[in-house]
Chains A and B, each alone.
Chain A
Amino acid sequence: EAGVAQSPRYKIIEKRQSVAFWCNPISGHATLYWYQQILGQGPKLLIQFQNNGVVDDSQLPKDRFSAERLKGVDSTLKIQPAKLEDSAVYLCASSLGQGVVNTEAFFGQGTRLTVV
């Protein structure tokens, strides 16, 4: 079974530039998550999709971050404009569904973003 795919693996940009990350979840997984992991901290949920609808985006800095999940499969996370404090690993995860049997989330390898 293929895992969660993310690209790119690494990205270096200057502050005020824009950047986009892509995620392809495990086939059949209805729930997709984007997490931000700053060095030395645990992953923090930015946004959660159930199919192509947003379930939770309470911690997404909406003035600069946006995300979409077209057709309930792939997802993109965009930052525009980037700030130095956005330097982090951005993790995409997916799970079968919310409120059902499987709460376990499967993570991709992440995209390491460095803003200089």
Chain B
Amino acid sequence: DQQVKQNSPSLSVQEGRISILNCDYTNSMFDYFLWYKKYPAEGPTFLISISSIKDKNEDGRFTVFLNKSAKHLSLHIVPSQPGDSAVYFCAATTYGGATNKLIFGTGTLLAVQP
């Protein structure tokens, strides 16, 4: 049972435009969400997170939006740069729970064209 879903395996955008990566989850117990970025041959690196008490969190060019009623979150990158080309994983957890185990989605490969 895939509790965190990223339905778009890949996305291609032009440099300078907005990139929107989507993520859906099924477990209503999740209350903390994270985005990780992964370059080839490297481990994932933390990008941005959001708690369920918020609906938006912004960090420079990166903004994450959370819609709890729809169990949906999205990552916006504005403006997109070629260096943003990577695989983006959405992850979810129950903050303060027994394990804080991260459940990852399958990832979206973002290609930013110069």
Q: Please list the residues of chain A having a beta carbon within 8 angstroms of any beta carbon in chain B.
A: 4, 31, 33, 40-45, 48, 55-56, 91, 93, 95, 98-99, 103-110
Q: Is the CB of B97 within 8 A of A4?
A: no
Top 5 A-B pairs ranked by shortest CB distance? A107-B43, A42-B104, A98-B100, A56-B99, A99-B96
Partner of B44, one of A31, A41, A55, A107: A107
Q: A48-B99, A55-B98, A55-B99 are in contact. Are A106 and B46 (CB under 8 A)?
A: yes
How many residues on chain B are close to A (CB under 8 Å)?
28
Q: Does chain A have a CB within 8 A of B32?
A: yes
- B46 — nearest CB in chain A belongs to which residue? A104
- Judged by DSSP, the binding face of B is loop
Q: Please list the residues of chain B having a beta carbon within 8 angstroms of any beta carbon in chain A.
A: 4, 6, 32, 34, 36, 41-46, 49, 89, 91, 93, 95-107
Q: Is the CB of B46 within 8 A of A105?
A: yes
The CA-CA distance from A98 to B91 in the complex, in Å, is: 16
Q: A55-B98, A56-B101, A103-B32 are in contact. Are A43 and B44 (CB under 8 A)?
A: yes
